[in-house]
Amino acid sequence: MSSASARDQPSTSKESFEDFYTEVKEIEKRDSVLTPTQQIDRLLRPGSTYFNLNPFEVLQIEPEVEVADIKKRYRTLSILVHPDKNHDNQERAQLAFDIVSRSWKILENELSRKKCLEVYEEAKGRTDKMIAEKRKKLKKEGRPMEPIPEDDPTKYKHAIYVMVMKLFADMERRRQKLDQRDQEERKRKRETEIEEEERIKSDREWQQNFEESRQSRVNSWHDFQSGTSKSKKTKKQKHMTGMMVPPKFKPESR
C-alpha cells in the first residue's frame, strides 16, 4: 500500500505527531544557525506578524522537542538578537528579542504549550480531511487513480505547515476581536460611571448651594414679612387718623 493510500485509512488518525511533522522546517530549506543580523531580519521580515504567532516557528524548533531543549534554544537565540550584542541595530534587535522572549514564555507554560500543540494536531486533521475530499471528488469524476499534489510528502508537509499558520492567525484574530469587545465594554462601563459621578457631583453641589442659601432665603422672607406688617400698620394708622379728623363745616347758603 502506498503512503498516499495509507493516509486514507482511519488508522492514520492515531499516528503520533512526531511521525508526520519531523521535517516540516526543511520545507523552507533554511539553516537554523544564522548570524545575529540574519536572525533579526528573519524575525522582522515582511509577513512576520503572522509567522511569529507560532512560537515554534520563532524559535526554529520542532513541536515535539522537550522543554529543556526549548529553553536551550531560547537562550541561544536570545543572545544572538540581544540589543547589547547588536549595537549598530539596537532598535530592531530589541523588537526581535521581544518576539523571542514572548515565544519562550508561551512554550515554558504547560497550558499554553499544549494549546499550541493542539493547533498542529488540528492542522493535520484538517489537511487529511481536505485530501480525502479531493480523492472523493476524483472518484466521483471517474478518476480515482489520478494523483494529487499532496501525494508528494514535501507538499503534504507544506500543506500542514500552511494550515498551522492559518490556525494561529485565526486564533489571533479571535483574540483581538475579544480584546476589542472587552475594551468597548470597559469603555461603556467607564462612561456610565463618569455620568453617575457627574450626576452625584451635581446633586451635591445643588444641595450645598441650597443649604448655603437657606439663611438668605429665611432673611428675605423675614424682611418680606416685616415689610408687609409695617405696610398694614401704616395703612391702619392712616385709617384711624382719618376717622379722628372732624368734617369741615359748610355754611348754609341763603
pTM, full prediction: 0.60
Helix or strand holding residue 83 (H, E): none
Question: What grid cell was written down for 132?
Answer: 480525502
Q: How far apart are CA 40 and CA 52, in angstroms?
A: 12
Q: How far apart are CA 42 and CA 86, in angstroms?
A: 15
| Burial grade of 31 (CB within 10 A; 0-12, 13-18, 19 or more) | exposed
- Over the stretch 161-198, which tens digit does the pLDDT of each residue have? 999 999 999 999 998 888 888 888 889 888 888 988 88
Do 95 and 42 meet the contact criterion of CB atoms below 8 Å apart?
Answer: no
Percent of the chain that is helix, strand, coil (3-state, to 5): 80, 0, 20
Exposed e or buried b per residue across 80-115, where buried means at least 16 C-beta atoms within 10 angstroms of its C-beta: bbbbeebeebeebbbebbebbeebbebbeeeeebee
User: What are the Cα distances from residue 32, in Å, to 29, 68, 76, 107?
Assistant: 10, 18, 11, 18
- Over the stretch 58-98, which tens digit does the pLDDT of each residue have? 999 999 899 999 999 999 999 999 999 999 999 999 999 99
∠ CA(136), CA(140), CA(145), 5° rounding? Answer: 70
Q: How far apart are CA 92 and CA 89, in angstroms?
A: 6
Q: Is 28-107 assigned to CATH 1.10.1060?
A: no
pLDDT exceeds cutoff 90 at 237? no
Q: What's the DSSP call for residue 32?
A: S
Where do we find the cell 462612561?
191
- Over the stretch 210-235, which tens digit does the pLDDT of each residue have? 777 777 777 777 777 776 655 655 65
Domain boundaries, the chain: 28-107, 113-217
How many residues make up the chain in this entry? 254
